[in-house]
Structure formats: structure tokens, C-alpha cells
């Protein structure tokens, strides 16, 4: 009992932090009428924006994984002079304002730039296009995949990989058959976090594509045009969808962990 009293201040401070996280969400749900939520869920624009947000973020995550995971492995398995500088560069999308990141991307892929002109020749466009949305989402979220993958690869004992190399396996084969399976939990967590960060992005996306409208932008659009009462049901629907997705991923991760144990 005495020991519990010693930790009372920590429980109080921790409870305040938790309250800070959950209070706005609970207030959102309690302030939104259920019939309004059901009515909003039948809105075709809301449905299309949610679908667009989810599939574009998923596509961006899976595409970037092809490059980000090998990069993470190389960083984790090698020591070089400017390693900390490289890690700092990877952190840039996290530390800068996302609207600034969107402007930077826009300056690189707009229609009058070299990349924009090359894309236009093959019938692609980054402006007001799902491709531009994917690029913006990927830019702000790829560091999470890289850093979690680095953490996973770094925890693999090097002697395991060395044993595979001594048995004649190539480094590429060691990566796919030894390192990646062992680090899959961290890599999978990185994929989830990148996908999750992508679906919540607003600042970078709006600089490249106001239309077609992803859900975060639709919420902002309804709020500025019609006020809080119109934006709140969309926010509630999107939060519920995100929570269902996270619960699904959480159950999959725990199932894999239990099988491993």
C-alpha cells in the first residue's frame, strides 16, 4: 500500500496524458448523433473519399516498401562515416511542416518541371491525381517504415547471417530467407505505421491534389463550408474505420507473435 502511494503522482500524471489522448475522441462521438452518422455514411462523396484514401495509402506503402526495406537493411548492417547524417536526412519529412514538404514536392513534379513534363508525355500527372496523393503520403510516412525496419534488422545476431553465408548462400538470399523473416515483426509494424500515417495526411496532399478529395481534406472542406456539425460525422466515421483497421492489424500481429512463442 505504501509503495502504491509512492507511485500515485506518476499514476496521476500518466492518467492526464491518457485523458489528453482519449478525451477529444470521446467528445467527438458523444457530440455526434447516430442517425446523422448513418446518413453521412450513405453520402457517395464520403464513401469515395474513404475508399480513395485507403487504397492510395496502401499502394504507396507497398510500392515504397520495395526500396525502403532494402535501404533499412543496408543501414542496419553497415557502419560508414556519414551514417548519422543519412539518418538525419531520412528524418527530414518528419521534422519539417508537412505543408512545406508538399510545396517542395510540388516544385519537383509540377507540370512545368522536368519530371512533370516527362510524366505528361506518358499520360501521367501528379497534380489533382491519385499519383500525386500517393507521392505526398509516401513522402511524409516513409521514415516510419525505414526506422522500424532498421530497428528490426539491427537486432538480428550477425552470426546467424554469417552462418548462412558460410554455407554458400548469397547475400541477397540471406536477406530474403534469413534477415527478412527474422525481422518481419518490425517490418510489418513499419508497414502498418506508414500506411496509417499516409491515410491521416493533409498538409502535403492538399498542395498537390485538392481533388480527387481524400477524407482528411473532405473533413476540412465540409468544416470550412458548412461548419463543425457537418464535418463531425465524417470525422467520426473515419476514426471508426481507422480503429477497425488498427484492431485488425493488432490481431494479426498478436496471432503471429503467439505462433512464434
Q: Nearest CA to 136 among 173, 103, 172?
A: 103
213-238, pLDDT tens digit by residue?
999 999 999 999 999 999 999 999 99
pLDDT of residue 9: 87
In the predicted structure, residue 260 carries a pLDDT above the cut 60: no
Peptide bond into 212 cis (omega under 30): yes
3-class SS string, 223-253? HHHHCHHHHHHHHHHHHHHHHHHHHHHHHHH
pLDDT of residue 256: 59
Q: Quick one: average pLDDT of 103-123?
A: 92
How many angstroms separate the CA atoms of 116 and 113, rounded? 5
pLDDT-derived band at 4, boundaries 50, 70, 90: low
DSSP string, 67-107: HHHHHHHHHHH---TTHHHHHHHHTHHHHS-HHHHHHHHHH
Start-end of H helices in 96-227: 98-109, 114-121, 130-154, 158-166, 171-174, 180-182, 184-199, 203-208, 215-226
Q: Quick one: average pLDDT of 103-124?
A: 92
Q: Quick one: average pLDDT of 21-25?
A: 94
In the predicted structure, residue 18 carries a pLDDT above the cut 70: yes
In the predicted structure, residue 99 carries a pLDDT above the cut 70: yes
Here the cell at position 200 is: 491521416
Question: Among 30-39, 108-117, 246-255, which is the least confidently predicted range?
Answer: 246-255
pLDDT of residue 248: 86
**Which domains are assigned to the chain?**
34-260 (1.10.3720.10)
How many Cβ atoms from other residues are within 10 Å of residue 91's Cβ?
A: 13
How many angstroms separate the CA atoms of 79 and 71, rounded? 13
pLDDT, mean over the chain: 92
169-194, pLDDT tens digit by residue?
899 999 999 999 999 999 999 999 99
Amino acid at each position: 500500500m505504501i509503495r502504491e502511494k509512492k507511485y500515485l503522482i506518476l499514476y496521476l500524471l500518466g492518467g492526464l496524458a491518457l485523458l489528453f489522448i482519449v478525451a477529444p475522441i470521446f467528445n467527438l462521438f458523444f457530440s455526434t448523433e447516430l442517425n446523422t452518422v448513418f446518413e453521412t455514411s450513405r453520402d457517395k462523396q464520403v464513401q469515395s473519399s474513404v475508399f480513395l484514401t485507403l487504397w492510395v495509402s496502401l499502394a504507396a506503402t507497398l510500392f515504397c516498401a520495395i526500396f525502403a526495406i532494402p535501404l533499412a537493411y543496408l543501414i542496419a548492417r553497415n557502419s560508414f562515416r556519414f551514417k548519422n547524417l543519412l539518418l538525419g536526412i531520412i528524418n527530414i519529412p518528419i521534422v519539417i511542416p508537412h505543408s512545406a514538404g508538399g510545396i517542395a514536392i510540388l516544385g519537383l513534379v509540377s507540370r512545368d518541371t522536368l519530371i512533370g513534363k516527362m510524366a505528361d508525355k506518358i499520360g501521367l500527372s501528379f497534380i489533382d491525381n491519385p499519383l500525386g496523393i500517393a507521392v505526398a503520403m509516401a513522402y511524409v510516412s516513409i521514415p516510419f517504415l525505414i526506422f522500424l525496419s532498421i530497428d528490426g534488422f539491427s537486432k538480428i545476431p550477425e552470426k546467424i547471417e554469417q552462418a548462412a553465408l558460410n554455407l554458400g548462400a548469397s547475400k541477397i538470399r540471406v536477406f530474403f530467407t534469413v534477415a527478412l523473416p527474422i525481422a518481419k515483426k518490425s517490418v510489418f509494424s513499419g508497414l502498418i505505421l506508414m500506411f496509417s500515417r499516409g491515410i491521416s495526411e493533409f498538409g502535403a496532399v492538399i498542395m498537390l491534389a485538392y481533388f480527387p478529395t481524400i477524407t482528411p481534406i473532405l473533413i476540412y472542406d465540409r468544416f470550412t463550408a458548412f461548419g463543425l456539425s457537418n464535418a463531425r460525422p465524417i470525422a467520426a466515421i473515419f476514426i471508426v474505420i481507422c480503429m477497425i483497421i488498427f484492431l485488425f492489424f493488432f490481431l494479426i500481429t498478436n496471432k503471429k507473435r503467439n505462433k512464434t512463442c
